[in-house]
């Protein structure tokens, strides 16, 4: 994991296809339109923030990208390949990741063993529930990931004893297992202290530059510091996009965020 953080243009030049290409994606639940007409292109290595009030459709957007449920309309391409109808595990195999809640299964394992198992699980067909032997290439990767997510001091601790903030860091660590090309972070700063937020910003900004992501975030300060570009959603639709500077200066955004009207 390097700390190098080349500019967006450099990162976009390094590869041809977009990481994600959404074309008219929509999703309804009965009569409720949760997502409608979402067209967005995200370059390889690009970091995108998605902002919006509660119920705007942000998590639904993630669910259609990961395959947790299929869109009602529209197509989704991942590095040029149409993945709209692929099952979730096939998307994971192609390098798509999402942060998730920590499984009870790992509660009694150490931080390092959890990350090790995640690395082994991605690199092999199945991962064993036996306590892992720390003797192969996956352990080397796990150690790098634990370091990159600022968990070195806690690597031998049981997952169940971690603070909320450390558990969020571990979720990021698990998403980094294998060879991710693109990660979806759903509100990783939720419930974090100011110090933990600073840590999170550092961790995200130091991720290898080829790994792109979308971060859903209610904290404008965090969102603007970890993204190249910002998309704003409301009522299931995209209504504004811009650079972090443009979004910060935007009167409507200032009204929403400084006026305390957001979720």
Q: What strand order describes the sheet that includes 96-98?
A: 96-98, 182-186, 212-216, 47-52, 229-234, 237-242
Of the candidate residues 15, 53, 59, 243, the single one contacting Mg ion (CB under 5 A): 59
Nearer to ligand ATP, 65 or 146 (CB): 65
53 binds Mg ion (CB under 5 A): no
**Structural contact between residues 217 and 48, judged by C-beta atoms closer than 8 angstroms:** no
Number of Cα atoms under 13 Å in the Cβ half of residue 40? 26
Q: Give the DSSP letter of residue 154.
A: G
Nearer to Mg ion, 18 or 58 (CB): 58
Of the candidate residues 15, 37, 55, 88, the single one contacting ligand ATP (CB under 6 A): 55
37 binds ligand ATP (CB under 6 A): no
Token pair, residue 16, equals 């041809």
Phi, psi at 256, each rounded to 5°: -65, -50
Of the candidate residues 5, 6, 9, 29, the single one contacting ligand ATP (CB under 6 A): 29
Nearer to Mg ion, 113 or 186 (CB): 186
Nearer to ligand ATP, 59 or 72 (CB): 59
Token pair, residue 253, equals 């955004």
Q: CB 109 → ligand ATP: shortest distance, Å? A: 29
Site for ligand ATP in 57-76 (CB under 6 A): 57-60
**Placement of tokens 């290595």 in the chain:** 45
Residues forming contacts to ligand ATP in the complex (CB under 6 A) are 29, 32, 34, 52, 54-60, 263
């Amino acid at each position: 994991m390097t700390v190098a953080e080349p500019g967006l243009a450099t990162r976009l030049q390094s590869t041809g296809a977009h990481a994600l290409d959404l074309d008219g994606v929509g999703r309804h639940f009965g009569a409720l339109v949760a997502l409608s007409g979402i067209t967005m292109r995200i370059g390889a290595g690009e970091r995108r923030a998605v902002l919006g009030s509660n119920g705007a459709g942000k998590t639904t957007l993630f669910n259609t990208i990961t395959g947790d449920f299929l869109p009602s309309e529209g197509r989704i391409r991942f590095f040029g390949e149409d993945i709209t109808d692929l099952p979730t595990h096939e998307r994971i195999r192609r390098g798509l990741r999402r942060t998730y809640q920590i499984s009870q299964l790992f509660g009694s394992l150490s931080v390092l063993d959890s990350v090790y198992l995640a690395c082994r699980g991605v690199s092999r067909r199945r991962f064993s529930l036996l306590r892992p032997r720390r003797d192969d290439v996956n352990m080397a990767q796990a150690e790098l990931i634990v370091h990159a997510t600022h968990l070195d001091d806690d690597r031998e601790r049981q997952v169940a004893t971690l603070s909320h903030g450390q558990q969020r860091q571990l979720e990021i660590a698990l998403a980094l297992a294998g060879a991710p090309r693109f990660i979806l972070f759903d509100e990783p700063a939720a419930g974090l202290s100011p110090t933990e937020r600073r840590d999170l910003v550092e961790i995200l900004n130091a991720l290898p530059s080829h790994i792109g992501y979308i971060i859903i975030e209610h904290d404008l300060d965090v969102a603007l510091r970890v993204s190249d570009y910002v998309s704003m959603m409301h009522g299931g639709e995209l209504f504004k996009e811009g650079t972090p500077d443009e979004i910060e200066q935007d009167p409507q955004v200032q009204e929403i965020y400084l006026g305390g009207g957001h979720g």
